[in-house]
Chains A and B, each alone.
Chain A
Amino acid sequence: MEEIVFGIGITALAGALATVAGAAEDTESDIGSQGDPNSQVQLAPQMGYIHRIFNKAVAGEPPAYGLWVALGAGLAWAFMAMQINPILAIVLGSALAVFVQGVYATTAYLGRTASLAKFGQPVYIDILKSMTTVTMAHAFVAIFTTVAMCHLMISALGHPFPLPLLGLVWGIALGAAGSATGNPFYGKERQYQEQKFGAGVPISASGNIVRYAEAGQRNSLDNGFFSAKLGGPASGICFGLIVFFELWRTVVFEPLAAGWGAVIVGVIVILVFAIIDRYIEVWARKTFGPYTAPEEASS
């Protein structure tokens, strides 16, 4: 019994860490503009819209986070093998991984923006100086929490994978959850804030992203401020729920029915989410109703 209570506590802690990781991951990717919406940031200068948005989407979020978290986990694992305290080892490993992220962000911004030179897009050095460190700070939170969560899974729950491999697996899952949930909010609601609420962006408006803020030109810190209100927390909830239910069904229900308890509970959780999803879908159809064209052109 004590073992199960301990397991539930670890599960809750891992879920909480994952929630923070998801929120930090999405905010980091929005400030750095790494997700799919970055296609518009790359496209805008080609359509004549010069902007001051960061641009580092040389890799998708899942492989990028797979690399950084695996790197943080691998270094932490090496430090632990050197008999360094696990918490210190995870902090050191994550900090070193963040420097790789910083180098990645810098070279990606310079490379991608320089490729737009023929369209008149300048490389803003002040953007590089002010925003790279902010993405690094958010990346540190995401990497540290994910590596700490992986360490808990191994040391407290007894998962057989070594720490670097678990870091790779959960890093890719973190990027997948964060980009899936957070991208539409950053892409549609922020970059196309001028478009009508409650409708998709017409393809004809592609590239015409919002470039001006309350005062002066909009930059990626403004975008981070915006997406941290919904896209980030929603990504955090998404990743937190994934980690929590994955661990919870195993820790609590694996002793039942010769191990099949975990599988049955997993299927039940999937069915519960099917009902929630269907409810949301029907609610949206009833509440918003069919699409009606705006009276004046929105783009």
Chain B
Amino acid sequence: MSALGGPKQTGGIQPPTGMGLVLSIVLIIVALALAFLLVQMAGVIALVGIIIGGVLIGFGVHFVPVGGAPAAMGQAPGIATGVAMLAAGAGLAGLFGGAWAAPLGLPLALAGGAVGGGLLMAITCTMVNVIYVFGMGIPAASGKVAKDPITGDTFPEYKSQGTEGHGLPFISWVGGVIGGALGGLGGTLIYLELLDIYQAQLPVLLNATVEQIAPVAVSLAGIFAVGMFLMNAVLAAYNITGTIEGPHDPKFKRFPRAVIAAAAASAVAGIFAIALLELVGVF
């Protein structure tokens, strides 16, 4: 992440290896089989939802323009914080909105989660540009492309000498909002799937009504959703290695690898979350 060191930042497509692909598919199939054995069809449906949610998070993180430490000195474009950190902030704000709208049904809760995540990124990205322009007098300039794919603005002449660019060009702003929305959507989907499972299992296990177990179910689903969100965001951050400008960055094309890894990781983590109460019941 340092301006002086760090791994060599190779752009371009880095396809997943055959071994990784096979291993991921095996892990997912084993997790699905376990879900069916432990919780029958409801478990499989929930696990598929969790895997989709994890994939959305892993994919969404690639959209978020993150410049890390160099961005804090105006040496690289993007937001001056860590990839996983910022994506988590946006995704969890989305989860907050999605969980709030959960009683209104799945489509509305998912839309609420997506808009919540997008809103956080929209405001944060705008304030980043406010600081760059009004606090530091620096216009936005991308270091990866010569022209903004949306607005057509040219960048090379605005780039300061000795830097890789600075600020947040409009394409990065749009990428941030899309990334936040996908993160909020994925996090909310994981939460809702787990909530369904726990609301069905807990009353039987604790011999109580759905209303009585609601706080426990919400807490369990919420903390698992936060955990899986961080897991997938960090996986994607490893794939990005350091900084990314958004969907126009050559590194964006690395996303297939992160998507497969997120699917496998979510399947394995998801089976633990789904089977948790079955295991508790056994003991």
The interface bits of chain A over 238-257 (1 if a CB of B lies within 8 angstroms of the residue's CB, else 0) are 10011001100110001000
B50: chain A residues at CB < 8 Å are none
A283: chain B residues at CB < 8 Å are 133
Q: Does residue A5 face the partner (Cβ distance < 8 Å to B)?
A: no
A181 contacts B124, CB within 8 Å?
yes
A61 contacts B81, CB within 8 Å?
yes
* Residue in B70, B89, B123, B161 whose CB lies within 8 Å of A199: B161
Quick one: which of B4, B74, B153, B177 has the most chain A CB within 10 A?
Answer: B74
A259 contacts B129, CB within 8 Å?
no
Given known pairs A187-B72, A188-B74, A203-B162, the reply for A270 and B131 (CB within 8 Å) is no
Interface-side segment among B8-16, B18-26, B90-98, B271-279: B90-98
Given known pairs A37-B69, A259-B104, the reply for A188 and B119 (CB within 8 Å) is no
* Residue in B104, B128, B141, B218 whose CB lies within 8 Å of A160: B218
| Cα distance, A258 to B223, chains bound together (Å) | 28
| Cα distance, A168 to B73, chains bound together (Å) | 29
Given known pairs A63-B85, A259-B108, A269-B122, the reply for A237 and B96 (CB within 8 Å) is no
| Cα distance, A252 to B205, chains bound together (Å) | 38
Q: Give the Cβ gap from B161 to chain A, nearest Cβ, in Å.
A: 5
* Residue in A160, A179, A277, A291 whose CB lies within 8 Å of B85: A179
B73 contacts A201, CB within 8 Å?
yes
B226 contacts A288, CB within 8 Å?
no
| Cα distance, A40 to B111, chains bound together (Å) | 41
Q: Does residue B215 face the partner (Cβ distance < 8 Å to A)?
A: yes
List residues of A (66-88) whose CB comes within 8 Å of B's CBs. Answer: none
A35 contacts B115, CB within 8 Å?
no
B218: chain A residues at CB < 8 Å are 160-162
Q: Does residue A216 face the partner (Cβ distance < 8 Å to B)?
A: no
Q: Does residue B132 face the partner (Cβ distance < 8 Å to A)?
A: yes
Given known pairs A180-B79, A181-B127, the reply for A200 and B74 (CB within 8 Å) is yes
B68 contacts A36, CB within 8 Å?
yes
B122 contacts A200, CB within 8 Å?
no
| Cα distance, A187 to B79, chains bound together (Å) | 12
| Cα distance, A191 to B74, chains bound together (Å) | 12
Q: Does residue A62 face the partner (Cβ distance < 8 Å to B)?
A: yes
B131 contacts A181, CB within 8 Å?
yes
The interface bits of chain A over 277-299 (1 if a CB of B lies within 8 angstroms of the residue's CB, else 0) are 11011011100101101000000
Q: Give the Cβ gap from A118 to chain B, nearest Cβ, in Å.
A: 17
A184 contacts B2, CB within 8 Å?
no
B131 contacts A185, CB within 8 Å?
yes
Query: Looking across the interface, which residue of chain A has its beta carbon closest to that of B104?
Result: A259
Quick one: which of A35, A37, A181, A231 has the most chain B CB within 10 A?
Answer: A181
Interface-side segment among A97-105, A109-117, A122-130, A170-178: A170-178
| Cα distance, A174 to B184, chains bound together (Å) | 16
A160: chain B residues at CB < 8 Å are 99-100, 102, 214, 218
Q: Give the Cβ gap from A262 to chain B, nearest Cβ, in Å.
A: 6
B267: chain A residues at CB < 8 Å are none
B124 contacts A184, CB within 8 Å?
no
Q: Give the Cβ gap from B201 to chain A, nearest Cβ, in Å.
A: 18
| Cα distance, A46 to B161, chains bound together (Å) | 24
| Cα distance, A51 to B212, chains bound together (Å) | 58
B139 contacts A177, CB within 8 Å?
no
Q: Does residue B71 face the partner (Cβ distance < 8 Å to A)?
A: yes
B162 contacts A269, CB within 8 Å?
no
List residues of A (9-58) whose CB comes within 8 Å of B's CBs. Answer: 35-37, 39-40, 43
* Residue in B81, B88, B112, B125 whose CB lies within 8 Å of A262: B112
Given known pairs A36-B72, A37-B73, A200-B73, the reply for A62 and B81 (CB within 8 Å) is yes
Given known pairs A35-B80, A197-B136, the reply for A231 and B131 (CB within 8 Å) is yes
Q: Give the Cβ gap from B102 to chain A, nearest Cβ, in Å.
A: 7
* Residue in A36, A175, A182, A254 whose CB lies within 8 Å of B89: A175
Q: Does residue A204 face the partner (Cβ distance < 8 Å to B)?
A: yes
* Residue in B111, B118, B139, B166 whose CB lies within 8 Å of A270: B118
Q: Give the Cβ gap from B105 to chain A, nearest Cβ, in Å.
A: 8
B127 contacts A173, CB within 8 Å?
no
B130 contacts A186, CB within 8 Å?
no
* Residue in A166, A266, A291 whose CB lies within 8 Å of B96: A166
| Cα distance, A269 to B177, chains bound together (Å) | 12
Q: Does residue A165 face the partner (Cβ distance < 8 Å to B)?
A: yes
Query: Looking across the interface, which residue of chain B has its beta carbon closest to that of A267?
Result: B115
B39: chain A residues at CB < 8 Å are none
Given known pairs A36-B72, A184-B132, A246-B116, the reply for A274 and B122 (CB within 8 Å) is yes
| Cα distance, A168 to B157, chains bound together (Å) | 43
| Cα distance, A184 to B137, chains bound together (Å) | 12
19 example contacts (A-B, Cβ-Cβ < 8 A) are as follows A40-B69, A43-B2, A61-B85, A172-B85, A175-B89, A191-B73, A200-B166, A201-B75, A238-B124, A246-B96, A250-B101, A258-B104, A259-B104, A273-B123, A277-B125, A277-B170, A278-B151, A280-B133, A281-B169
Taking A176-B85, A177-B89, A281-B129 as given, write out 14 further A-B residue pairs in contact, using a Cβ cutoff of 8 Å, ordered by the A residue number. A39-B3, A180-B124, A180-B127, A183-B72, A184-B131, A184-B136, A185-B136, A189-B135, A200-B165, A203-B75, A246-B120, A266-B112, A284-B138, A288-B137
